[in-house]
Amino acid sequence: MKKAIVIGSRESKLAVIQSQMVISYLEEKRPDLELKLLTMKTTGDKILDQTLDKIGGKGLFVKELDKALLDKKSDVSVHSLKDMPMQIPKELPIIGFSKREDPRDVLILPKGRKQLDFKDPIGCSSRRRMLQLKELFPKAQFQSIRGNVLTRLEKLDHGKYGALILAAAGMKRLGLEERISRYFTIEEILPAPGQGILALQGREGEDYSYLDDFLDQESAYAAIAERAFVKELDGGCSSPTAAYAQVTGDRIFLTGLYYNEESKKYYKGSMEDKVENAKILGIRLAECLGGKKDGHR
Ligand SMILES: NCc1[nH]cc(CCC(=O)O)c1CC(=O)O
């Protein structure tokens, strides 16, 4: 009999495609395993009329998936790393990270539109994106938009939004690359920590060696540095933060951005180190930016 492995996933189309990437990989590599997909709606997917900050943050996207792992209804959860809370329960450790998809943010226009029109608000719920876009487009107005990527695209095409800002990674995985009308460079809009990376989460003490070759070491270093940066600053709660780490050989180059709610200023900077020091690099950059009273942009 084949050993059954259940992959837990949110039920959105993007989440399922992402989980399917893991399943397809294993089906090819490990014919001795029987792969099953278990999808579920998370609280974060159900409550769509309020911003995440108000209803309890990113934890709402993982609660149900964590419960399925603990109850042994699933064996591995597949997450978009950027949706994962900063605190991960010890019993449900991250097994590892996927190779990174395009980390950039992109501009999407309503169907048929060729140019960005500042008369209509840009649909955007992330303060990280809003603050950086305001620098790029001082005339832009924003309106909050929630829901999964496909729901947002539908609202864009039938609503009063002038544009959306989304992650290139999601659009590409959904096969919607042709709807991207502009890629923002990393310098223009620094992405969310972990953007484009999938995190695989499992149960403590289990053998996940069947996933070894799916996991990517460069992504892991980047994920560790980017998340250490955010964790050190505010524990990933409410202040807008952005971080992106680039690994080249045995070096890691981290750029971080942090908005200070009190001084209403944002602080941006970069540092590099050896890959083994990814975590301390994130902490050092955070100390350097967060500790400074009159920083620069
Ligand atoms: N918060 C929503 C979310 N979570 C993960 C992705 C896709 C990109 C990724 O995997 O990092 C998206 C959509 C978006 O921001 O456009």
The predicted-structure confidence for 31-49, as pLDDT tens digits, reads as follows 999 999 999 988 777 776 7
Q: Note the ipTM here.
A: 0.95
Ligand 1 atom closest to residue 198's alpha carbon, by position in its atom list: 10
How does strand 105-108 pair with strand 180-183? Answer: antiparallel
Check residues 93 and 262 and name the one with the higher pLDDT: 93
CATH of domain 1-100+197-214: 3.40.190.10
Question: What single-letter amino acid sits at 100?
Answer: R
Confidence of residue 293 (pLDDT cuts 50, 70, 90): very low
The predicted-structure confidence for 240-287, as pLDDT tens digits, reads as follows 899 999 999 999 999 999 988 888 888 999 999 999 999 999 999 999
For the chain, the domains span: 1-100+197-214, 105-183, 216-297
Pocket test for ligand 1, best of 9, 149, 156 (most atoms within 8 A of CB): 149
The answer to whether the 1-100+197-214 and 105-183 domains have the same CATH topology is yes
Q: Supply the pLDDT for residue 212.
A: 97
Q: Supply the pLDDT for residue 290.
A: 80
Q: How many angstroms is it from 42 CA to the middle of ligand 1?
A: 15
32 belongs to the catalytic site: no
Confidence of residue 297 (pLDDT cuts 50, 70, 90): very low
CATH of domain 105-183: 3.40.190.10
Tell whether the model's pLDDT for residue 153 goes beyond 70: yes
pLDDT mean over 109-114? 94
Q: How many angstroms is it from 50 CA to the middle of ligand 1?
A: 18
Q: How many angstroms is it from 102 CA to the middle of ligand 1?
A: 11
Any atom of ligand 1 within 6 Å of the Cβ of 122: no
- What angle (nearest 5°) sits at the alpha carbon of residue 129, between those of residues 123 and 134? 85
Nearest to 195 by CA among 162, 224, 231, 168: 168
Tell whether the model's pLDDT for residue 14 goes beyond 50: yes
Distance of alpha carbon 245 from the chain centroid: 14
What's the CA gap between 239 and 206, in Å, rounded? 35
Confidence of residue 147 (pLDDT cuts 50, 70, 90): confident
What's the CA gap between 139 and 165, in Å, rounded? 16
What's the CA gap between 123 and 153, in Å, rounded? 10
Any atom of ligand 1 within 6 Å of the Cβ of 78: no
Which CATH number does the domain 216-297 belong to among 3.40.50.720, 3.55.30.10, 3.30.160.40, 3.40.50.300? 3.30.160.40
Any atom of ligand 1 within 6 Å of the Cβ of 60: no
Q: Are 249 and 182 in contact (CB under 8 A)?
A: no
Tell whether the model's pLDDT for residue 232 goes beyond 50: yes
pLDDT mean over 5-15? 96
Find the catalytic residue in 75, 83, 102, 234.
83
Q: Supply the pLDDT for residue 294.
A: 42
Pocket test for ligand 1, best of 195, 197, 200, 244 (most atoms within 8 A of CB): 195
Q: Are 108 and 49 in contact (CB under 8 A)?
A: no
Any atom of ligand 1 within 6 Å of the Cβ of 126: no
Any atom of ligand 1 within 6 Å of the Cβ of 166: yes
Any atom of ligand 1 within 6 Å of the Cβ of 170: yes
Percent pLDDT > 90 in the chain is 80
Any atom of ligand 1 within 6 Å of the Cβ of 12: no
Confidence of residue 62 (pLDDT cuts 50, 70, 90): confident
Q: Supply the pLDDT for residue 296.
A: 44
